[in-house]
Structure 1
Amino acid sequence: MINRLSKAEPENFLMLDPDCVLDAMLDQGFQCDGRLLALNSYENRVYQLGIEDGPPLVVKFYRPRRWTDAQILEEHSFVQDLFLSEVPVVPALLNDNGVGLRFFKGFRFAIFEKQGGRAPELERVGTLERLGRYIGRIHAVGASSKYCHRPMIDRETLGSRALAFLLENDCIPSDLLPAYESTARQMLECVDTLYRQAGEVQVIRLHGDCHLGNVLWTESGSHPGPHFVDFDDSRMGPAIQDLWMLLSGNRVERQNQLCDLLAGYEDFADFDPRQLQLIEPLRSLRLIHYSFWLAQRWGDPAFKLAFPWFNSQRYWQDRVLEMREQIAAMEEPSLQI
């Protein structure tokens, strides 16, 4: 059963109104007090709900037909492993059968305790080292087993397939198509070159989307410091995937930030320096995949409201320039430890 992608599942979120959300929670034994707050999420639908005689909870309804049940359960299992290893994450609450994936009127959803916090202040001394320490702990657990159902973070999945979708579905203005396609293919050739130079690097279960928006920092509680949330994009990939998105600024600044991260990271996990050659390739793949993600979701009214510039001429012109900058970046020496 867990491998299915239900044919009864809705095509989209049009039937997911507030009454449906409240009824789904009641069906699972949670008596809501009527307070419902939509949280910032485009891929899924996420709500904070007031609970009678208890603290508020967060419920996430998974985008229909994105993940299979098995893929969602693999993510839940990984986060539960992290939680049991005392890594500050927020696992799905389990039902009476010990499972976090729930069903209501074809929708699939999970329920979580609310986790407060703010964005980490990276300029504060010691913050990056602490982040690196916890990411090292995540990766130590992640390396202990493998995903069997979730896709990989690699050139084929995030690059070639994403580009093929954009080209085959007429997403790019016709007058910009030759420039976009040729530049994208040149960028992917550079990605291939650097992947070959890095050689065979270990791939592990990891967060997959470890940017500052998915890290909540607290100063009190049982685990003061960073809390890692939203493992929805968790996949198998190289460890550097969870580190490079925390780097910003000029080369010297990024070099110093990397050293701070790894000072904490290597307290718990070994780091293969060959992976440093993958920072710009992974950034390049993310650029193409982001446009693919928007194009694939363009039929969702929420995306048209949130990203009205997506199908504009200017958007695709900027992407061509961005890819050319990435080609130049991949020709420069990689960061060093």
Structure 2
Amino acid sequence: MTDSAFHFQTLHPDTILDALFEQGIRVDSGLTALNSYENRVYQFLDEDRRRYVVKFYRPARWNAEQIEEEHQFALELQANEVPLAAPLSIDGKTLFEHQGFLFALFPSLGGRQYETDNLDQMEQVGRYLGRIHQTGRGECFHHRPTIGIQEYLLEPRALFDATYLIPSALKAAFLQSVDALIAEVTARWDLDYRALRLHGDCHPGNILWRDGPLFVDLDDSRNGPAVQDIWMLLNGDKASQRLQLETIIEAYEEFGSFNTDELKRIEPLRAMRMVWYLAWIMRRWDDPAFPGSFPWMKEEDFWRRQTATFNEQVRVLREPPLQLTPMY
């Protein structure tokens, strides 16, 4: 793989059209780029006016075995009547290769925005999360990783230490806040839970609404605790989050029990995502799409705010975790 392939500089329209033609797909419309930083995703119509989405995976992120595990999980979920965008199969395959790029085809499924303050919608999402996890408990991924401190905290810490993006005058204070966050998470992170296959990135932007939820983008699917697919759906103050959590879990438990001991992992998981997300942007900084999309990474005020955010998360971690309302 070349650096230009990693940055998609060699993924030209003709390359995409040739890749699709090899699979018997003739494009009748233009290729419409869809919003995706990590991969390259395009919508199009074929000669029979059927609408598709093609996804070209960023080289060197996931290998073929890891992507195929994601696809298999999606197909299992689809077979278990979970509404989601699953890859299409051509001659028994869902993953294809062209000029070093791995790609997959999906049906184009539209929908409106999931309403994060709508408890009725949240209840339906909770019900389907229960079904997703019922399938996910069947076995763990063998090739995809498990959420943990090494990937989400320690590797990013090494990247922060080496990067030139953090202003030198602010770097020591920033690294001190990172170290404090790592220490607090490490003290609270244990492996005393049953890992399962997760959606992995179940935030409101990855849920569409079509008379019910439609889950999209299993690209970050991995093993981990069930609460990982729940905490990103919570918003507002503690009282609001408690109500939302109770709504989700009550519906979730129609399909399987939820271990409420996992609630203590919500803030550690939030901290891990904060650190991981920042490191993800840094790792992609040489991709020309990233500096223009995240210009604040070059501003001193951003790093001051980020230091303050990490310090605040340390304080939150020291508070009692979110709990459900006791039932008497």
* Same fold? TM cut 0.5: yes
Indicate whether 1:324 and 2:324 are aligned: no
Indicate whether 1:217 and 2:209 are aligned: yes
Q: Which residue of 2 aligns with 1:175?
A: 169
Indicate whether 1:109 and 2:96 are aligned: no
Aligned with residue 281 of structure 2, among 273, 294, 306 = 294
Contact 1:134 1:265 in 2 (8 A): yes
Can you list the C-alpha shifts for 1:14-70, whole angstroms capped at 9, x where unaligned? 011222111211111001113210000000000001111132100000001111111
Indicate whether 1:48 and 2:43 are aligned: yes
Contact 1:9 1:107 in 2 (8 A): no
Indicate whether 1:226 and 2:218 are aligned: no
Partner secondary structure for residue 309 of structure 1: helix
Contact 1:195 1:277 in 2 (8 A): no
In 1, the alpha carbon distance for the partners of 2:183 and 2:45 equals 51
Aligned with residue 7 of structure 2, among 8, 12, 19 = 12
Aligned pairs for 1:48-197 (under 5 A) are 48-96=43-91, 98-196=92-190
After alignment, is 168-177 or 63-72 more displaced? 168-177
Can you list the C-alpha shifts for 1:82-136, whole angstroms capped at 9, x where unaligned? 011111111111121x121111111110000011111222333421111101011
Q: Which residue of 2 aligns with 1:222?
A: none
Contact 1:9 1:65 in 2 (8 A): no
Q: Which residue of 1 aligns with 2:196?
A: 204
Can you list the C-alpha shifts for 1:223-257, whole angstroms capped at 9, x where unaligned? xx001010000000111110000001011011111
Q: Return the offset for 1:8.
A: 11
Change (3 A) 1:125 1:147: closer
In 1, the alpha carbon distance for the partners of 2:207 and 2:146 equals 22
Partner secondary structure for residue 112 of structure 1: strand
Contact 2:5 2:11 in 1 (8 A): no
In 1, the alpha carbon distance for the partners of 2:50 and 2:272 equals 40
Q: Aligned pairs, how many?
A: 324
Partner secondary structure for residue 52 of structure 2: strand
Contact 1:9 1:106 in 2 (8 A): no
Change (3 A) 1:252 1:310: same
In 2, the alpha carbon distance for the partners of 1:174 and 1:121 equals 42
Q: Which residue of 1 aligns with 2:292?
A: 305
What's the Cα RMSD here?
Answer: 1.5
Q: Which runs of 5+ in 1 are unaligned?
A: 1-5, 220-224
After alignment, is 67-76 or 170-179 more displaced? 170-179
Aligned with residue 314 of structure 1, among 284, 288, 301 = 301
Contact 1:205 1:235 in 2 (8 A): yes
Can you list the C-alpha shifts for 1:185-224, whole angstroms capped at 9, x where unaligned? 111111112224xx601111001000011101012xxxxx
Contact 1:241 1:279 in 2 (8 A): yes
Partner secondary structure for residue 48 of structure 1: strand
Query: What is the TM-score normalised by the length of structure 2?
Result: 0.95
Amino acid at match of 1:303: F
Q: Return the offset for 1:158.
A: 0.6
Amino acid at match of 2:12: D
Aligned pairs for 1:263-282 (under 5 A) are 263-282=250-269
In 2, the alpha carbon distance for the partners of 1:173 and 1:106 equals 37
In 2, the alpha carbon distance for the partners of 1:125 and 1:304 equals 37
Q: Return the offset for 1:169.
A: 3.1
Contact 1:8 1:106 in 2 (8 A): no
Q: Return the offset for 1:315.
A: 1.7
In 1, the alpha carbon distance for the partners of 2:2 and 2:30 equals 32
Contact 1:217 1:227 in 2 (8 A): yes
In 1, the alpha carbon distance for the partners of 2:4 and 2:167 equals 33
In 1, the alpha carbon distance for the partners of 2:3 and 2:277 equals 29
Partner secondary structure for residue 30 of structure 2: strand
Contact 2:119 2:244 in 1 (8 A): no
After alignment, is 117-126 or 150-159 more displaced? 117-126
Can you list the C-alpha shifts for 1:119-178, whole angstroms capped at 9, x where unaligned? 222333421111101011001100101111111111221111111122123342211111
